Amino acid sequence: MQDVSVDVVTIGAGGGAYPAAFRLARSGRQVVMTDPKGVMSGNCLAEGCVPSKAVREVAQLYRRVRGGARMGLHGQLSAEYSGALAHKSWVQELRYRQHAEELEALEPRLRLITGVARLVDSHTALVEGPQGSWRISARSVIVASGSDITVPKLPGAELCITSRDLFALTPQVRSVPDTLLVIGAGYIGLEAAGILQTFGAQVEVLEMEDQILPGMDPDFAALLAANLDPQITVRLGSKVRSVEATPEGRRVTYLRDGKVNTAEAQQVLLAVGRHPVLPTGLAEAGVEVEAGRPRVNHSLQTSVPHIYAPGDVNGRSMLFHSAVRQSLVAADCIAAGDRAVDHFDFGAVPTTIFTFPEAAYVGLLRGEAHLRGIPVEEAAYSFEEDSRAQILGEMSGELRLFFAPGSLRLLGGWVVGVDAAQLIGEIGTAVAAGLTAHQLARFPDQHPMAQEGVGKAARRLV
């Protein structure tokens, strides 16, 4: 057992951990990160956002070129899934190399120990890994152990594939099934459905709730549902009861409208969500856990002020960019001697569903405003009138902004359609900065880009 004493130890080296580790090491502190992966970036780069978007981007290019006959694009076009996977792995490896160089530049002030960490008290972590064991004492602790794929207690769950099997560095699934059933119409299920359908699979999605994207704004979800590629069949109100193996693949039994139905496919993708992963020893460290998550304040402090829990582990906003900002908030507070000097705004995190078309939102939307009795004034812009959407020939969907009546301060917005993932960044910045419709209306948004919709929508109110 090696004994190490540092200023800060992180449990995990993903988006919730390494931004803080780097900021604190750069400001002269001794920092140790721990992660069984032995590399930084957590599940995002290992099997999540980056690899899935690399494959998705190939699918997007293919769709655009395939639909380009009116633009004079002809010829023998085919989409090789193996090529898309090779591209994905190239991006992953490139980023791992860059991260390794970034880490090397800060060693030995910042170190990454490969292994699983557990807490034995509020200042001490024990790490077991292939290179041995460590006892790490630290003044402050960052618990950023992230999340994992939820596998429900469903007979036959082990017969299903998951997003890990699609997007890991060495994915289990290397070819596109002819037919695919997706369990769950959340963002992971819908994104995978869109990608694999583009590469040739016939896809059906089963969702037990009565809307896609359960938990998200119902009108936003309905708008995406109306604009989704109709080649993907989505069955709502369909609760899967079991999965069985057949000679050809899989049979899924599900309950819909009180009736038992079956559906068959070569493969079944289980995409029912992700859940926080907690390290052992939170109780020994005195950290309070509620509903399987460490409770945190807006400075990401747990019930023990020098122990922080940024990122997926707190279950409040399970997105990589959210984890990064939460991590930096924790770093600021640690640098200030564990005082709550910085805060995270859980209400203004842009979220994108990378379907075809993309759908994205940020801040307060119609449904939550109604539920909380908050009046909002809406301004919409249809992509039918948008020059970029017309240039791309992708004119479905809309951009919609929600303002506080009177002040016309921007509270939130959604975009379903062209460039939604990019647009929501600008809208989110405006929400975070508290900009008003008057200010948005006076900004010269670029032409001929879809950003024009932001100013145009705002000008409808002023």
Smallest distance from ligand ADP to CB 17, Å? 6
Is the link from the previous residue into 448 a cis peptide, with omega within 30 of 0? yes
What span, in angstroms and rounded, lies between the C-alpha atoms of 402 and 394?
Answer: 24
Nearer to ligand ADP, 319 or 458 (CB): 319
Give exposure, 138-169, as e/b (b: 16+ Cβ within 10 Å): bbbbbbbbbbebeeeebebbebbbbbbbbbbe
Smallest distance from ligand ADP to CB 318, Å? 7
For residues 180 and 41, the answer to whether their CB atoms sit within 8 Å is no
**Is residue 333 within the footprint of ligand ADP (CB under 6 A)?**
no
Among 6, 7, 9, 16, binds ligand ADP (CB under 6 A): 16
Tokens at residue 407, please?
């002040």
Smallest distance from ligand ADP to CB 374, Å? 30
H or E element, residue 377: strand 377-382
Task: Specify the residue for token string 């899989």.
Answer: 250
**Is residue 119 within the footprint of ligand ADP (CB under 6 A)?**
no
Cα distance between the two ends of the chain: 67
Q: Which of 322, 356, 251, 293 lies closest to 145 in space, CA to CA?
A: 293
Nearer to ligand ADP, 12 or 453 (CB): 12
Distances (CA, A) of 132 to 11, 12, 363: 17, 17, 46
Among 6, 12, 30, 315, binds ligand ADP (CB under 6 A): 12
DSSP 12: B
Smallest distance from ligand ADP to CB 206, Å? 26
What span, in angstroms and rounded, lies between the C-alpha atoms of 416 and 426?
Answer: 15
Tokens at residue 225, please?
């549902």
Site for ligand ADP in 18-47 (CB under 6 A): 34-37, 42-44
Nearer to ligand ADP, 47 or 358 (CB): 47
**Is residue 277 within the footprint of ligand ADP (CB under 6 A)?**
yes
338 to 357: interface string for ligand ADP, x by CB under 6 A? --------------------
**Is residue 171 within the footprint of ligand ADP (CB under 6 A)?**
no
Smallest distance from ligand ADP to CB 161, Å? 19
Smallest distance from ligand ADP to CB 97, Å? 17
**Is residue 281 within the footprint of ligand ADP (CB under 6 A)?**
no
Smallest distance from ligand ADP to CB 45, Å? 8
Among 144, 268, 272, 353, binds ligand ADP (CB under 6 A): 144
Smallest distance from ligand ADP to CB 105, Å? 21
Site for ligand ADP in 427-456 (CB under 6 A): none
* Percent of residues in the chain assigned helix, strand, coil, to nearest 5: 35, 30, 40
Among 11, 360, 362, 437, binds ligand ADP (CB under 6 A): 11
Nearer to ligand ADP, 32 or 454 (CB): 32
Site for ligand ADP in 296-325 (CB under 6 A): 311-313, 320, 323
Among 6, 9, 14, 361, binds ligand ADP (CB under 6 A): 14
For residues 26 and 106, the answer to whether their CB atoms sit within 8 Å is yes
For residues 199 and 188, the answer to whether their CB atoms sit within 8 Å is no
**Rounded (5°) CA angle 356-376-215:** 45
Nearer to ligand ADP, 34 or 267 (CB): 34
Smallest distance from ligand ADP to CB 85, Å? 21
Among 177, 194, 279, 428, binds ligand ADP (CB under 6 A): 279
DSSP 436: B
Smallest distance from ligand ADP to CB 371, Å? 28
Nearer to ligand ADP, 220 or 320 (CB): 320
Distances (CA, A) of 155 to 166, 251, 254, 398: 22, 12, 12, 41
Stretch that binds ligand ADP, among 57-65, 142-150, 192-200, 385-393 (CB under 6 A): 142-150
Smallest distance from ligand ADP to CB 333, Å? 17
Question: Regarding beta strands 110-114 and 31-35, do their DSSP bridges make them parallel or antiparallel, or are they unpaired?
Answer: parallel
DSSP 209: S
Among 6, 7, 15, 428, binds ligand ADP (CB under 6 A): 15
Smallest distance from ligand ADP to CB 32, Å? 11
Tokens at residue 91, please?
């991006």
Tokens at residue 73, please?
């694009």
What span, in angstroms and rounded, lies between the C-alpha atoms of 236 and 215?
Answer: 14
Tokens at residue 360, please?
């994205």
CB closest to ligand ADP, residue no: 146
Angle in degrees, 0-180, between the axes of helices 18-26 and 81-106, rounded to the nearest 10: 30
Which residues on adjacent β-strands are paired with residue 34?
A: 11, 113
For residues 140 and 7, the answer to whether their CB atoms sit within 8 Å is yes
Which residues of the shown chain bind ligand ADP in the complex (CB under 6 A)? 11-12, 14-17, 34-37, 42-44, 116-117, 144-147, 277, 279, 311-313, 320, 323
